[in-house]
Chain A
């Protein structure tokens, strides 16, 4: 079974631009979570989607948004990029997300650099 895929793998943008990242979960997985990872803050939860609905949201500004499509693929968007948005953005999928035993599996990540 194919793993979680994320595109693009690397991005370089300038301040003020916007960016869209894509995530395709493992086949059959319906929950997709997004995380931001920086050396100083570790893994920070952005949001989680299940059946095209955002169920959980972390403490990030409204510039960070996401959506999920009917095939469970998900995108996240960051508008008006700031230097501090430079990070590794990780997507994780799990089978259901609402149960007791659900494990998350990560994609390779998108490395975003904001200049």
Chain B
């Protein structure tokens, strides 16, 4: 079982719709959760971090964390073509130090 799993996609949504990206993780004691956006040919860019159960909103982005079910999701409201990218879920596992494990990413396509 992979430590961090994401559907590779592509996930296609029409412009203006809500895009929902999901991620599950295997280590129950994971503490920190991150979403990165990566455009083709570029490096990952941190867009959200979440540490407690519930929702965290930042502009059009909402991260949702459910530790009991071991999943974290990212909602993108009013999706724009510029949101088309690969979204990486990252989890900082137990162990004390900064060992972050990344999922393989979900490719999002926003159709104009």
Kindly state the separation between the CA atoms of A109 and B44 in the bound complex, as whole angstroms. 10
Q: Interface digits, A51-80 against B, CB 8 Å rule (1 contact, 0 not)?
A: 000011000000000000000000000000
Chain B residues, CB < 8 A from A109: 43
Chain A residues, CB < 8 A from B103: 42
Chain B residues, CB < 8 A from A35: 102
B104 touches A42 (CB 8 A): yes
In the complex, how many residues of chain A place their beta carbon closer than 8 angstroms to a beta carbon of chain B?
A: 26
Within 8 A of A (CB), among B30-65: 31-32, 34, 36, 42-46, 49, 51
Chain A residues, CB < 8 A from B99: 45, 48, 56
Residue A21 at the chain B interface, CB threshold 8 Å = no
B34 touches A103 (CB 8 A): yes
B98 touches A42 (CB 8 A): no
Partner of A102, one of B45, B98, B104: B98
Kindly state the separation between the CA atoms of A100 and B71 in the bound complex, as whole angstroms. 18
B97 touches A43 (CB 8 A): no
Residue B76 at the chain A interface, CB threshold 8 Å = no
Q: Interface digits, A75-115 against B, CB 8 Å rule (1 contact, 0 not)?
A: 00000000000001010001011101111111111000000
Residue B108 at the chain A interface, CB threshold 8 Å = no
B97 touches A55 (CB 8 A): yes
A98 touches B43 (CB 8 A): no
Residue B100 at the chain A interface, CB threshold 8 Å = yes
Kindly state the separation between the CA atoms of A71 and B26 in the bound complex, as whole angstroms. 36
Kindly state the separation between the CA atoms of A56 and B99 in the bound complex, as whole angstroms. 7
- Other 14 A-B pairs with CB < 8 A, given A35-B102, A48-B97, A96-B98: A43-B44, A48-B99, A55-B98, A56-B97, A56-B98, A56-B99, A98-B98, A101-B51, A104-B34, A104-B90, A106-B44, A106-B46, A108-B43, A109-B43
